[in-house]
Structure 1
Amino acid sequence: MAEYLLGLDYGTGGGKACLIDAEGRVLAYAFREYPIIIQHPGWSEHDPHLYWKVACEVIQECIAKSKVNPRQIRGIAVSSALPNLVMVDRDGNPVHLAYNLMDRRATKEVAWLKSTIGEERMFALTGNPVDDHPMLVNLLWEKNNRPESFRKVFQALTVDGFINFKLTGKFTVNIGSAAFYGVAWDIRRHKFNEDVLHEIGLSKDLFPPAFSCEDVIGEVTEEASKATGIPQGTPVCAGAVDFCVSCVASGTTAEGDVQMNLGTCGNFGIVHKTTDFLREMLVCPHAVESRTTYVTIPTTTTGGQLLRYVRDNLAHFEVEVEKILGVSAYDLLNLEAEKVSPGCDGLLALPYFMGERSPLWDPYARGVIFGLSLSHTKGHIVRALMESVAYALYHNFEIVQSAGWKINLPIVFNEGGARSRLWRQIITDVFNVPTVFLKNRAGAPYGGAILAGVACGVFPNFQIAKKLAEYVDPLEPSSKNHKLYREYYKLYRRLYEHLKEDFRELARLREEHVRREEVSS
């Protein structure tokens, strides 16, 4: 009898599903965008009700496209982009909008934690910087700013945990996603430090039990079956962080393997066993051997989101052409950027449109277009933004190199804007290392389907991921371009240092203006 597996993934910009067979072949794929809600500067949220609506739609679409018998689906795994936060009441209903990873409102809570618990103590416990605004930081913001509604919160879930609840009726978290609770989460023991929880005033009862990524945590309920079309009793596994299952999809499973994504965020990840974590970067348990293996994930907050911003705000012509001719607006923007030489004729960008994560950890940083002149075109701006993401990621890569960790080359490009050969060549030249492109780019939900296969016994282990990964379009760095980019990279680094305090002053002025408007209204 045929066997099928389903992966679901929730990014910052939308939700995806992928249905595969026991040979790893993609039978169907579906995607739905959902809006990013920006109510105030520094806030970034989703409507959590859309998460389940999207799940039902993409699952039903995959079943319809593939024409498989859903009774032969052997397992499901869900992943999401972290940190995120869905607060629910006793019945599992959302309390307020959901936080996504670009939210940076809780700056006062971060400062309080640094002074009360201390950065050294938190890093020693969590392996992660508190500046990332992990979920406990946001819970403290809720407690401090919306105490009445905070009292309604029964469980603090991740997005993947929320979907797993909708599927199984059980509140759970996987240990990969749980790393993004932060502050009091012991990343080596995979549990909360209750002393720290007590010190910061959060009850351990707010948090669900944690499971290994490969564990089966429940089965599809009758109610979920009616909503999705997945038969009641279908096993659901604990799931993982989106980047980790995208690593599974690309065969990035061995120590030293490196994968890069250009999704909403720009990031790369390196697989390792050491628990001597890098202070400047995010780390979480891998989906593979999740109790003993980790992925360090240097991240710039806005990667592919920068091109989405250009598309939505500056590319009305390209969008209209897409509607008429069916040619992607992104491809048209890419063609314009290809006409521009490396270095963009003196145009330089800082990509910090929503603050910056590693290694700067600066929620006040904002985007900058530096050196703009009347000779520059839209193509210059697009390429400058591409180059800025490359510089931001290279800043992190330098730190990984200096740590002396094992690095297996080539770097594997996978999701999002990595479809752009130009962008891949820019990064190849900036990093000065060879790269390859994953042929099957179904991404995180594909890796989630493989994870479900391991969890449910369809696959004996994760060697299947290495077997299925096929790499194409190898690129070699240009020494000439790397030398040029090194000079612009030095200026890129200095530019941020020159503006660092000005970003804070800009935030102060903005907040003061908002307060005046609130008083006057």
Structure 2
Amino acid sequence: MRYLITIDVGTSSTKTALWDVDGNTIAESSKPYPLDRPEPLWAEIDGMIWWQAIGDTVRQVMAKSDVSPHDISGIGVDGVSWTLIPVDGQVTPLHPAMIWLDRRSTEQAQWLKSLPAADQLVQLNGNRLDEAYITSKLLWLKQHHPEIFDRAHQFLDATGFITAKLSGEFICDYTQAYGYHFFDVSNLCWDAPAADTIGIPLGKMPRLCASTEVVGTLTPQAAEHLGLHAGVPIIAGCLDAAAGALGAGVTRPGYTNEQGGQAGGMAVSLDHVVIEPRLIFSPHVVPGQYILQAGTVGGGSLGWFRDQFGQVETSAAALLNQSPFELFSQQASSTPPGANGVIFLPYMAGERTPLWSSTLRGSFFGLTYNTTHADMLRAIMEGCAFAVYDNLEIAEQHGVSVSEYLGSGGATQSAVWCQIKADIYGKPYTVARRSDGGEGGHSLGLFALTAYGTGLVDDIGMCVESLLPNRTTHEPSLKNHALYQELFQIYRSVSRKLMDDYERLASIIQER
């Protein structure tokens, strides 16, 4: 029997799974870790913490099973986005990894925006010039730690770092490369004039390749660390969001996934390049496809409400052996669409697409003395969906057509929330699950990529679709959609009008 190992290196934990060739999960393990935030805008982690977590979780999944190391036929990895980790020739980190949450390079991003060639860089790469991307982080490193910049053998992303630790090969797969604004997204190559304009030596950049390419094999040193045998094929791997979209069922152009979690958003697959700097654009893991993405941060709003105002539901849930969120959903269903005139802006930690603001904050709009607990709960659910719809409308302005809308993440446990989304988007909202009732997600996507890369399957999309046989579809109400269309215009208007005020508020608070 042959088996595969998938490794998902996330923001707060690493999750490893052992699979048989039929796509059955044999064993799983995860290990959490904290981020370092030595300054308000910094978010970093020692890359060796990732490496230790990988060693621990791989050993654990092997120990939980009776699988022999001789039977491991491939390893696939995904990693967090927009991460910079400079390394020496032995793949030793020279600086903590600056991940996607890190916004220390504001000054460098402003410099990039001031360049005469700024618009050309956006057209080349498909993404806005922002401090979240790797480009400005490279310039921050060059300015503040020139000795590390000069000493670095390669500048790697999160996936490339782990792949190099496993195989000794330095690569950057296409789905991670869009974090650099000297990456030509149309031709899938580094652009020398753009790199020269920015001031980045391409000799320090790794080779570009497809996510499914077998880039090398497990080195003896890595094998000892993982408790495996050397020689196991290693695929290039990919961006975690791309693996998650694939694992949720985004296998064909027009298929769209919405992630209903702490960091939400949507990803629609396309067969052509779209330049829209308000959104996020990258190659997909499926050859010949791209992903137009949106990233929102309001998914944790219900968790905030539970912690601050949900003591009754939390206590009752413990007695009823239910989740507080189930009780929240029941209450939200008792309030009509529109939450009796309450609109929630879910910008509890600023907002990513399409507003790109770190100073925006959450707001309830339309509160009265008659507003109930249930109204506020439904307004939160509707507001989070409005935030995604804000992005979907922009995508559709570019002619993007959604042929299937697939939901994933914790929010899909609520049928009420799924129906709200179907009504707001005006589209059938489908939740695809495995035969055991579980979700697809990152690990399933990685399994399909690794199986394809190592020759175990012939078609990535068909592999995923065969592993997600159970589908529940929530059909939209035309009446509710018409109401939500009117309410969304108010949501959108209020969100834009408050941007300057929230920026001023942030300045006042910071000065105190």
Q: Answer yes or no: is the 8 Å Cα contact 2:101–2:132 preserved in 1.
A: no
Cα distance in 2, alignment partners of residues 39 and 164 from structure 1:
28
* One-letter identity of the residue aligned with 2:342: L
| Match in the other structure for 2:379 | 384
| Match in the other structure for 2:452 | 454
How far is 1:358 from its partner?
Answer: 2.1
| Secondary structure of the structure 2 residue equivalent to 1:133 | coil
Q: Does 1:162 align with 2:156?
A: no
Q: Answer yes or no: is the 8 Å Cα contact 1:79–1:448 preserved in 2.
A: yes
Q: Answer yes or no: is the 8 Å Cα contact 1:131–1:362 preserved in 2.
A: no
How far is 1:150 from its partner?
Answer: 4.4
Change (3 A) 1:310 1:5: farther
| Match in the other structure for 1:267 | 265
Q: Does 1:207 align with 2:193?
A: no
Cα distance in 1, alignment partners of residues 320 and 93 from structure 2:
41
| Match in the other structure for 2:426 | 432
Question: 1:169-180 to 2 correspondence within 5 Å?
Answer: 169-180=168-179
Change (3 A) 1:330 1:217: farther
How far is 1:256 from its partner?
Answer: 1.6
* One-letter identity of the residue aligned with 1:75: G
Q: Answer yes or no: is the 8 Å Cα contact 1:172–1:210 preserved in 2.
A: yes
Change (3 A) 1:35 1:389: farther
Cα distance in 1, alignment partners of residues 335 and 58 from structure 2:
42
Question: 1:113-262 to 2 correspondence within 5 Å?
Answer: 113-131=112-130, 133-147=132-146, 149-181=148-180, 183-262=181-260
- Total equivalences in the alignment: 507
| Secondary structure of the structure 2 residue equivalent to 1:32 | strand
| Match in the other structure for 2:339 | 344
| Match in the other structure for 1:367 | 362
How far is 1:177 from its partner?
Answer: 0.8
* One-letter identity of the residue aligned with 2:136: V
Cα distance in 1, alignment partners of residues 190 and 349 from structure 2:
30
Q: Deviations over 1:61-112 (max 9, x none)?
A: 3323343223212111111232223333444333444333233332322221
| Match in the other structure for 2:295 | 299
Q: Answer yes or no: is the 8 Å Cα contact 1:252–1:466 preserved in 2.
A: no
| Match in the other structure for 1:486 | 485
How far is 1:286 from its partner?
Answer: 1.2
- Structure 1: segments with no counterpart, 5+ residues: 514-521
Cα distance in 2, alignment partners of residues 212 and 259 from structure 1:
22
How far is 1:425 from its partner?
Answer: 1.8
Cα distance in 1, alignment partners of residues 426 and 131 from structure 2:
28
Change (3 A) 1:25 1:13: same
How far is 1:17 from its partner?
Answer: 2.2
Cα distance in 1, alignment partners of residues 307 and 221 from structure 2:
38
Change (3 A) 1:502 1:235: same
How far is 1:371 from its partner?
Answer: 4.1
Q: Answer yes or no: is the 8 Å Cα contact 2:214–2:234 preserved in 1.
A: yes
Q: Percent identity?
A: 30
Q: Answer yes or no: is the 8 Å Cα contact 1:132–1:357 preserved in 2.
A: no
Cα distance in 2, alignment partners of residues 482 and 357 from structure 1:
25
Q: Answer yes or no: is the 8 Å Cα contact 2:106–2:131 preserved in 1.
A: no
How far is 1:178 from its partner?
Answer: 1.0
| Secondary structure of the structure 2 residue equivalent to 1:298 | strand
Change (3 A) 1:180 1:418: farther
Cα distance in 2, alignment partners of residues 98 and 259 from structure 1:
28
| Match in the other structure for 2:349 | 354
Change (3 A) 1:396 1:461: same
Q: Deviations over 1:235-270 (max 9, x none)?
A: 110011222222332332222222221233212222
| Secondary structure of the structure 2 residue equivalent to 1:366 | coil
* One-letter identity of the residue aligned with 1:408: S
* One-letter identity of the residue aligned with 1:429: D
Q: Answer yes or no: is the 8 Å Cα contact 1:322–1:328 preserved in 2.
A: yes
Cα distance in 1, alignment partners of residues 320 and 65 from structure 2:
27
Q: Deviations over 1:412-454 (max 9, x none)?
A: 1123433332322221111010011111214111110110111
| Match in the other structure for 2:443 | 445
| 4+ long deviations beyond 6 Å | 316-326
| Secondary structure of the structure 2 residue equivalent to 1:131 | coil
Cα distance in 2, alignment partners of residues 314 and 40 from structure 1:
30
* One-letter identity of the residue aligned with 2:241: F
Task: State the TM-score, normalized to the length of structure 1.
Answer: 0.88
Change (3 A) 1:398 1:326: same
| Match in the other structure for 1:77 | 76
Change (3 A) 1:82 1:375: farther
Q: Does 1:423 align with 2:417?
A: yes
* One-letter identity of the residue aligned with 1:231: H
Cα distance in 1, alignment partners of residues 381 and 82 from structure 2:
24
Q: Answer yes or no: is the 8 Å Cα contact 1:436–1:471 preserved in 2.
A: no
Q: Answer yes or no: is the 8 Å Cα contact 1:80–1:242 preserved in 2.
A: yes
Q: Deviations over 1:365-415 (max 9, x none)?
A: 233333456665665554433322211111111122232234213x11123
Q: Answer yes or no: is the 8 Å Cα contact 1:304–1:416 preserved in 2.
A: no
Q: Answer yes or no: is the 8 Å Cα contact 1:38–1:45 preserved in 2.
A: yes
How far is 1:312 from its partner?
Answer: 6.1
Change (3 A) 1:318 1:125: same
How far is 1:326 from its partner?
Answer: 6.6
| Secondary structure of the structure 2 residue equivalent to 1:355 | coil
* One-letter identity of the residue aligned with 2:391: N
Cα distance in 1, alignment partners of residues 33 and 417 from structure 2:
25
Change (3 A) 1:256 1:197: same
* One-letter identity of the residue aligned with 1:270: V
Q: Answer yes or no: is the 8 Å Cα contact 1:29–1:442 preserved in 2.
A: no
| Match in the other structure for 1:49 | 48
* One-letter identity of the residue aligned with 2:409: E
Q: Does 1:414 align with 2:412?
A: no
How far is 1:51 from its partner?
Answer: 1.8
| Match in the other structure for 1:500 | 499
How far is 1:306 from its partner?
Answer: 3.6
Q: Deviations over 1:13-56 (max 9, x none)?
A: 33222322211222233333333444444433445333223222
Greater relative contact order: 1 or 2 (C-alpha under 8 angstroms, separation 6 or more)?
A: 1
Task: State the TM-score, normalized to the length of structure 2.
Answer: 0.89
Cα distance in 2, alignment partners of residues 509 and 447 from structure 1:
45
Cα distance in 2, alignment partners of residues 222 and 324 from structure 1:
52
Cα distance in 2, alignment partners of residues 89 and 320 from structure 1:
53
Q: Deviations over 1:287-328 (max 9, x none)?
A: 111xx321111222x143444555666667777888898754
Cα distance in 1, alignment partners of residues 509 and 145 from structure 2:
22
| Secondary structure of the structure 2 residue equivalent to 1:130 | coil
Cα distance in 1, alignment partners of residues 177 and 137 from structure 2:
14
| Secondary structure of the structure 1 residue equivalent to 2:281 | strand
Cα distance in 1, alignment partners of residues 70 and 309 from structure 2:
47
Cα distance in 2, alignment partners of residues 347 and 502 from structure 1:
20
Cα distance in 1, alignment partners of residues 467 and 386 from structure 2:
31
Cα distance in 1, alignment partners of residues 451 and 99 from structure 2:
28
